[in-house]
Amino acid sequence: MKTRFTLALYLTVAVLALSVLTGCPASGPTPTPAVPVDGVLDVDMRNYVYEPRSFEFKVGETVEFRLISEDEPHTFTVKELGINWVVPKNEEPQVETFTFSEAGTYRLVCTVAGHEGSGMVGKITVVE
């Protein structure tokens, strides 16, 4: 009789433990929410040209840049804004996100040797 009682007690504890464990969510870090993006822009970099060549954004706008460089490595550099994205030769876009915080007109250049001199420049205008 004592053996049956002990067995029943162990079985009850096991069932309760199992129900508690399966009902608990997995613990771990909570993912950080992504910054909301106001727009997505594809930029093709090849033959010493940015396409498109000029851009206009609003102050406070957050943009996701999808950078493609199919011929050779390039950079997407705007020194005044602290942007210096090195883009290797790729077929899948390199994705970068930036929030524009100050109005102005900024010079975009490729800093790979000889590329700026070959005409790989552009313009970013940020308006209020």
**What residues contact 108, with CB distance under 8 A and at least 6 apart?**
50, 55, 76, 77, 78, 121, 122, 123, 124
Tens of pLDDT, residue by residue over 5-57, are 444 445 455 555 545 445 544 444 444 445 578 999 999 999 999 999 999 99
pTM of the entire predicted model: 0.72
What is the predicted pLDDT for the residue at 51?
A: 97
Nearest residue to 64 via CA among 101, 104, 92, 36: 36
Strands 39-46 and 62-68: parallel
CATH architecture designation of domain 39-127: Sandwich (2.60)
Residue corresponding to tokens 């969510």: 25
